[in-house]
Amino acid sequence: MKTGALIAASGIHLNIPDFDPTIRMGDTSIIKKMIITLQHADVDPIVVITGHNAQNIEKHLARMGVVFLRNDDYRNRDMFHAVQMGIDYLQKECGRIFVMPVDVPLFTSASLRMLLDGKKDAVCPVFNGKPGHPILLGSGLFGDILNYKGNNGLWGAVTAKGREVEYIDVNDEGILFELETEEDLLRMRQSATRSREPLRYSLQLKIGRNELVFGPGILQFLELVDRTGSMQTACRQMNISYSKGLKMIGLAEKETGRPLLERRAGGSEGGVSFLTEEGRLFVRNYIDMREELERCSEGLFEKYFGGGK
């Protein structure tokens, strides 16, 4: 099973009313920094729960390969509701989920990898005796969190049945750095100038006859359509227009020479869509080839760049 992540970015910051997770920190933005760090640790899929300032955040992240879920009732709901939304979405394909608010951006991928060595269903990083973020939750807790009716939020749901939390010491002060004041924003920008992440690489496999159009974007779109049964929902979760989604499918089907989606009228979202058998096989072959290429490339990256150090 995969390890996914959810970033709760839907609410209004209590102490910084004009807080904007798209503001820059070093060479990138707060929220992109978090996503890049998660990607360094091979975390996928990543769900961003939006609400306040949703359009701006989704536009800002449109090419990051994340999934957007809208919390339209963010003014009346707390962060725990956003967490429940993300877990409900991810639980079928992820065995573990990193959970974090958008105002704790300075954790490192090394810390994430250490948390992945944890054995319990709730794993929390610790620096100098103090617990921080993000928290890693296992599938044994998903039901408890989704059904929790208490008033103590995520921590209450995790510990409600006397479950033990596994604490893992990490050499990473960033797990404690929470943006609570304007002064914190200034300190964050100063910290961000000293990058702590190693080099990484990315392989993009693209397939086509004349135009190489079948790549990560159309793959994500097809997977979302297959999951939701709706092209409209998939477009919304990727922050693209329906017309762009149609164009993507049309080009991909033309260049691969096979029908990828079957679309039928009706349904609450204006129609039902699903992968054809040919489309499902093509997607599976694409994923298998990409994974094999990635396994081969790890040794080459180590050879030429020393593993990115």
Same domain, 71 and 160: yes
User: Does residue 182 have a pLDDT over 90?
Assistant: no
**Residue 97 and residue 136 in one domain:** yes
Q: What pairs with residue 62 in β-bridges? A: none
Same domain? For 187 and 231 the reply is no
Answer whether residue 202 is part of any domain.
no
Backbone angles phi, psi at 24, to 5 degrees: -80, 145
Within a domain: residue 186?
yes
For residue 211, tell me if it sits in a domain.
no
User: 25: pLDDT confidence band, cut at 50, 70 and 90?
Assistant: confident
Pick the last residue of a domain from 140, 157, 192.
192
Lowest mean pLDDT among 100-114, 184-198, 219-233: 184-198
- Residue finishing a domain among 192, 207, 235: 192
Non-local CB neighbours of 237 within 8 Å, separated by 6+ positions: 67, 68, 69, 224, 228
Q: Report the range of poorest mean pLDDT among 7-21, 202-216, 217-231.
A: 7-21
55 in any annotated domain: yes
Total number of domains in the chain: 2
CATH of the domain at 185: 3.90.550.10
Q: How far does the chain reach from its first CA to its final CA, in angstroms?
A: 28
Same domain (yes/no): 164, 90: yes
| The two three-digit tokens of residue 208, written as one number | 């086509």
pLDDT classification of 68: cutoffs 50, 70, 90: very high
pTM: 0.90
- 209: which DSSP letter? S
170 and 82 within one domain: yes
Q: Is the same domain home to 100 and 188?
A: yes
Q: Based on the domain organization, do 220 and 155 belong to the same domain? A: no
pLDDT for residue 195: 57
287 within domain boundaries: yes
Statement to judge: residues 99 and 162 lie in one domain: yes
What is the Cα gyration radius of the chain? Answer: 20
128 in the same domain as 29? yes
Mean pLDDT over residues 260-286, rounded? Answer: 86
Half-sphere exposure of 272 (CA within 13 A, CB side): 4
Residue 87 has a pLDDT of 97
Share of the chain above pLDDT 70, in %: 95
Question: What confidence tens digit (pLDDT) does each residue in 211-228 have?
Answer: 999 999 999 999 999 999
Residue 117, number of CB atoms within 10 A of its CB: 10
Domain membership of residue 175 (yes or no) is: yes
Strand runs (DSSP E) across the chain, as ranges? 2-9, 24-25, 28-29, 46-50, 67-70, 94-101, 122-127, 130-131, 135-138, 166-169, 261-265, 271-275
- Counting beta carbons within 10 angstroms of the beta carbon of residue 227, is it exposed (0 to 12), middle (13 to 18) or buried (19 or more)? middle
Q: Is residue 124 part of a domain?
A: yes
Q: What is the CATH classification number for the domain harbouring 294?
A: 1.10.10.10
What is the pLDDT, as a whole number, of residue 202? 86
**Domain match, 41 and 183 both:** yes
Could you list the residue range(s) of the whole structural domain that residue 240 is in? 216-300
pLDDT at 141: 96
**What's the whole-number average pLDDT of the chain?**
92
Residue 154 placed within a domain? yes
Q: How many CB atoms lie within 10 A of CB 44?
A: 15
Nearest to 45 by CA among 82, 81, 2: 2
Q: Which one of 151, 176, 192 terminates a domain?
A: 192
Please indicate, yes or no, whether residues 46 and 186 belong to a single structural domain of this protein. yes
Residues 220 and 160 both lie in one domain = no
Q: Which two tokens stand for residue 48?
A: 């961003």
